[in-house]
Amino acid sequence: MLLLHSPRFSEHCPPPGHPERIERGEVLEAVAGAFAAGGGAVREPRMATREELALVHTAAYLDAIEATAGKAVMIDDDTYTSPESYDVARLAAGATIDAARHAWTTGESAMALVRPPGHHAEPHKAMGFCFYSNIAVAAAVLRAQGAERVAIVDFDVHHGNGTQAAFYADPSVLFISSHQYPFWPGSGADTDRGSGAGEGFTLNLPMRAGAGDDEVLGVYERQALPALEAFRPDVVLVSAGYDAHHRDPLGGLRMTTAGFARLSEMLADAARRLCGGRIAVVTEGGYDLGALREGIDATIEAIERSHHEVP
Ligand SMILES: [Zn+2]
């Protein structure tokens, strides 16, 4: 397994008291450091290019974010830049593309340990701590380079509205999101299933507040895994948010670290069966630092374990 990480992910600095804080970057740094110390491969990512970002985002939006370079700007009530954020956000998108390309081209797994997160950023706007839609850009790059079917699974406690928006009418990208509902950002009803040719290629799995491992893993068994099987993806990308953990201060679900381990194992096993183990994971939310660390470690262990089993 390859990890993509940069110490620069701690340089994006929202105002004091903001949950998406630099200490989250220090958790990512600690995970990457421990992985490298154990002999694992950790690679420094590069920044996404404007051409890559433009596969998902509008030119006017890319110009607006570029204009925040070197400045601290409040974009909305949740979303702030600091002088380094423009570079760091491009690095997060680049790491996600690199992870996805590694999985797609080598058949090995990869995980991008990044912040800021990406799944709330829509083609034309920043939102919910997110500037670039990291995983959507990565999926679009793989499509442009020849992948015919890309599956995206998002288990962050919040609905991945940005990822959904990028591919809502596109049957070549299956988007599956489990999330607390009703909840911020408000989208993600199970009746939202895609539009036009993309109808049936968006699968929203809303969870009631208080749902725990059994309920979440149950909807993956009954709905997400069969949808993945039917889609036959060339590669599986995962938006890994750990804010569905019961200790998370923002989310209202009750998952445990063992639940994240089991869910990660299910997704890795599905990728092994369906697409030669081509799975790439990118971090999204997760605001309890201990739960974030435990969850990421559980995902890495589960994917490595799955890949060492005989197919
Ligand atoms: Zn979240």
Among residues 38, 47, 17, 42, the alpha carbon closest in space to that of 29 is found at 42
- Tell me, in angstroms, the distance from the centre of ligand 1 to residue 69's CA: 25
Catalytic: which of 102, 119, 120, 307? 120
pLDDT per residue rounded down to tens, the chain (311 residues):
999 999 999 999 999 999 999 999 999 999 999 999 999 999 999 999 999 999 999 999 999 999 999 999 999 999 999 999 999 999 999 999 999 999 999 999 999 999 999 999 999 999 999 999 999 999 999 999 999 999 999 999 999 999 999 999 999 999 999 999 999 999 999 999 999 999 999 999 999 999 999 999 999 999 999 999 999 999 999 999 999 999 999 999 999 999 999 999 999 999 999 999 999 999 999 999 999 999 999 999 999 999 887 55
**Residue 245 bears catalytic tag:** no
Could you tell me the distance, in angstroms and rounded to a whole number, from the CA of residue 10 to the centre of ligand 1?
Answer: 18
**Would you say 212 and 253 are in contact if contact means Cβ atoms under 8 Å apart?**
yes
To the nearest 10°, report the CA torsion of 107, 109, 113, 114.
30
What pTM does this model have? 0.98
Cβ atoms 260, 251 nearer than 8 A: no
- Set out the domains of the chain in order of their start, with CATH numbers: 2-308 (3.40.800.20)
Locus of tokens 């059994």: 214
CA of 310 to the centre of ligand 1 (A): 34
CA–centroid distance, residue 75 to ligand 1 (Å): 18
The predicted pLDDT at position 309 comes to 75
Q: What is the pLDDT of residue 311?
A: 53
The alpha carbon of 160 and the centre of ligand 1 are apart by a number of angstroms equal to: 8
Q: Is 34 within 8 Å of 149 (Cβ atoms)?
A: no
Report CA(285)–ligand 1 centroid distance (Å). 4
- Confidence at residue 310, expressed as pLDDT on a 0 to 100 scale: 57
| Residues bordering ligand 1, an ion, CB closer than 5 Å | 156, 158, 241, 243, 285
Question: From CA 217, how far away is CA 214, in angstroms rounded?
Answer: 5
* Ligand 1 centroid, distance to 20 Cα (angstroms): 10
Total number of residues shown for the chain = 311
